[in-house]
Amino acid sequence: MPLVTTKEILTKAVAQNYAVPHINISNLEHFDTILSTAAKLKSPIIVAFTTGLIKYYGDEILEGLCSAASKKYQIPFAVHLDHHKDPKDIFTRIKKNKYITSVMIDASLVDFEKNVAITKDVVEFCSKKGISVEAELGAIQGTEDDHSSADAFYTDPNLAIEFIKQTKIDALAISIGTVHGCVTKLAPSLDLKRLEQLRKTTTIPLVLHGCSGLNDEQIKTVVSKGIAKINIATEFKVVFHDGLVKYLHEHPTETDSRLFFGAANKNVKNLLESKIKLFNSENKG
């Protein structure tokens, strides 16, 4: 089916109280495994391209993949530019490509007024193209830890109301204590009361980044309290790596990449199946 926007996908998720998996794509085989698994379980899915992935493969290859997938898989899926910090880069990508249906402008590390100004520019441009915009208020610990105090990371519910009103974004990434990347020194500590207040006082879909280290019960809880989109990257990289290493260790002379990539992607498939069921997005596509 044709590509859809994240606004369309997440509006339904909010109404029916489930969360949609948002997967950062690492390689081409990864992409097809994600889409085929979501299609098997009839789950909506959001696939995300970072600036690094786009530079690595190029726009032409990625546009071809998205075009083919939209014809092959009969589920709603969106293609999202994740954590783009430069509006000019977003504008250039959109002008060059037809596959983009959603963007995230991440100006979370600048002050509130500048975040609003940058985000408003992106919304103004993207709304004319029918493209959804996600922004972030607060900062996720781990790779966005430039703030000097712990509380500075968290999303202020009162500021969130004003931020949404001024920017007219379609989704808001919030910080309630999650951590980007592999959890080492930092451990997630969820502020569920803050989440409840944010869900009560805001009207657009809420997004959770940095879910490394959260257990299944914590995930179920944040979904039940109104998180409509959960971003996952590190976990999929780890299981892909582990599957690859295990296969090559057991088959040290194997040179057919289809076999060892297949073993790695089996782990990706199994992980996504578990996430879809955990997020309650199965049969929602």
Binding residues: 83, 106, 136, 180-181, 209-212, 231-234
The pair of three-digit structure tokens given for residue 12, joined into one six-digit string? 């339904």
Specify whether the CB–CB gap between 171 and 7 falls below 8 A.
yes
Positions at the binding site for Zn(2+): 83, 106, 136, 180, 209
Could you tell me where the DSSP H helices lie in the chain? 6-16, 28-40, 51-57, 59-72, 87-96, 112-127, 157-167, 192-201, 216-224, 234-250, 257-279
Amino acid present at 1: M
Positions at the binding site for dihydroxyacetone phosphate: 181, 210-212, 231-234
Place of tokens 């379609």: 170
**Residues facing 45 on adjacent strands:** 77
The pair of three-digit structure tokens given for residue 100, joined into one six-digit string? 């983009």
Query: Residue 242: which residues within 8 A CB-CB, separation 6 or more?
Result: 267
The pair of three-digit structure tokens given for residue 202, joined into one six-digit string? 């805001």
Identified catalytic residue from 82, 156, 170, 191 = 82
Is residue 86 among the annotated active site residues? no
The residues assigned a catalytic role are 82
